[in-house]
Amino acid sequence: MSAQPIHFVAPGDFKQRARVALDDPKLRASFRGAMDFLQGKRASQFPDGEELERLRDLGEAVRQHALARLPELLEQLEAKLTAAGVHVHWAATADEANEVVLGIARAASAQRIIKGKSMASEEIELNHYLAEHNIACIESDMGEYIVQLAGEKPSHIVMPAIHKTRGDIAQLFEQRIPDTHYTEDVDELIQTGRRALRSAFVEADIGLSGVNFAAADTGTLWLVENEGNGRLSTTVPDTHIAIMGIEKVVAKLEHIVPLSSLLTRSATGQAITTYFNLISGPRRAGERDGPRNVHLVLLDNGRTQAYADEQLRATLQCIRCGACMNHCPVYTRIGGHAYGTTYPGPIGKIISPHLLGLDATADLPSASTLCGACGEVCPVRIPIPQLLIRLRTEANRSPDERVAHPLRGQGANYRVTQDLAWRFWSGAFAHPRAYRAFRWLATRMRALTPARQMGWTANRTPLKPAERSLADLLRERGQAE
């Protein structure tokens, strides 16, 4: 298995894919309608602005408190879970996480795995890896099941198949599920999907899930879902494997309550989700159901790079609600697949550079208008626009410059000519005499302005000095410069 970062498409082709998406009126209309609906649903769940801001304050405080004590809380979580009979594994990379899951599957002689929703498993390309080792992974979340049938990846972290219309799904089910007729009736489509999946829960050797939050004080894994597939995946097979990013831990079980309230209301506009699954260990003596073996894989995969930098650490506050995507003017127009990363939209632009490296994601921090909508709706107050500016700075910083916390791929967008241009500009503005001389020359020699001005003229008309500067005009009027 390659040690290179894993992508399902090359993130470096972002601009080309974005152009293709913009030229697809069906996709744009689909996303526009879906995002408008979700924005309205979220707004309806927060009618009291003051209550919303208090809840955001609380959510931010919980996440920052946990991140400030992250190493300590992870050790506490491991100790609690181990004492309860859970096998805890640490994975520094996606490769290591995949190898851990494969080792567990081989030890259990497993051929089939049923999966609840797990973005961490998407991140490490687990399905693809296990398929290469002749182990089938079947998605049980309806959205994930649809994109798996279509041979695609999720385009949204909460609603994986949001890019598909009812007609698309009806056609897909008719073609891929035996004895299924074409229908666009939503209830019938859901029943068809559930019927196809029902036997998979019983036949699976292993159930696999993600983790929304983990409480260090009680050793509890907290899963949020709406369909019940997560509960079946984690209780029916004899072995349950949970995969969790290391940032998901919080200090106390009670701290998860406000986060869950923010998560469901921000994500889908629901007052509360249908299922909360709390897992604290394998089946105990006398219990009639539940897995006999439980494993937890704690995944780093670049998160410690964000953790090491005090400003970038805020990235790890994310609770994966997707509200930033639903309100982003860029995501709304191009959809999730254009990004080429597991996490699209604003949160993907700030976390993917840590998971994959800035060299593989150099265009993503610039794929933003910096309108601030993502930061305004973030339930835990991640300063996404500020983090985007910081990542742009790191992408344009000289790769040879020594900094306290260098990022993987630093200098991915660095150009000597651009660096010289900025140095000249800042030098001219820092020294009044130099600025006046530059201004005098620029207004008199404006005819020599180049038609192509590096990246500026890729999408804009060339900058051209005015015939007379503002200072000249003020002086003519007898006003001070």
Residues 349-382: tens digit of each pLDDT: 999 999 999 999 999 999 999 999 999 999 999 9
333 lies in some domain: no
Q: What is the pLDDT of residues 371-380, one digit of tens each?
A: 999 999 999 9
* Domain span including residue 472: 431-477
Q: How confident is the model at residue 4 (pLDDT cuts 50, 70, 90)?
A: very low
**N-term to C-term CA, the chain:** 65
Taking the C-alpha atoms of residue 71 and residue 77, their distance in angstroms, rounded to an integer, is: 10
- Mean residue pLDDT across the chain: 93
- 281, 86 in Cβ contact below 8 A? yes
221 lies in some domain: yes
Q: Could you give the residue ranges of the DSSP H alpha helices within 10-111?
A: 14-22, 25-45, 49-68, 70-83, 94-107
Taking the C-alpha atoms of residue 289 and residue 271, their distance in angstroms, rounded to an integer, is: 30
Q: Over 60: is that where the pLDDT of 8 sits?
A: no
93 lies in some domain: yes
- 324, 272 in Cβ contact below 8 A? no
Among the three residues 262, 279, 305, which one is the final residue of a domain in this structure?
305
Query: What is the domain count for the chain?
Result: 2
Helix (H), strand (E) at residue 125: none
Least reliable range by pLDDT among 13-17, 54-58, 146-150: 13-17
Among the three residues 305, 324, 348, which one is the final residue of a domain in this structure?
305
Q: Answer yes or no: do 298 and 435 share one domain.
A: no
357 lies in some domain: no
Q: Please tell me the predicted confidence (pLDDT) of residue 376.
A: 96
Q: What is the pLDDT of residues 447-477, one digit of tens each?
A: 999 888 877 888 889 989 999 899 889 988 8
Among the three residues 275, 305, 335, which one is the final residue of a domain in this structure?
305
Q: Answer yes or no: do 294 and 441 share one domain.
A: no
363 lies in some domain: no
Give whole-number Cα distances, 72 to 79, 167, 217, in Å.
11, 50, 11
17 lies in some domain: no
- 154, 316 in Cβ contact below 8 A? no
What pTM does this model have? Answer: 0.89
234 lies in some domain: yes
Q: Please tell me the predicted confidence (pLDDT) of residue 460.
A: 87
- Among residues 253, 258, 248, the alpha carbon closest in space to that of 215 is found at 253
- Among residues 391, 369, 387, the alpha carbon closest in space to that of 378 is found at 387
- 352, 361 in Cβ contact below 8 A? yes
435 lies in some domain: yes
CA dihedral 339, 343, 347, 351 (to 10 degrees): -100
Q: What is the pLDDT of residues 35-59, one digit of tens each?
A: 999 999 999 999 999 999 999 999 9
CATH no. for residue 270? Answer: 3.40.50.10420
Q: How confident is the model at residue 2 (pLDDT cuts 50, 70, 90)?
A: very low
Q: Please tell me the predicted confidence (pLDDT) of residue 10.
A: 59
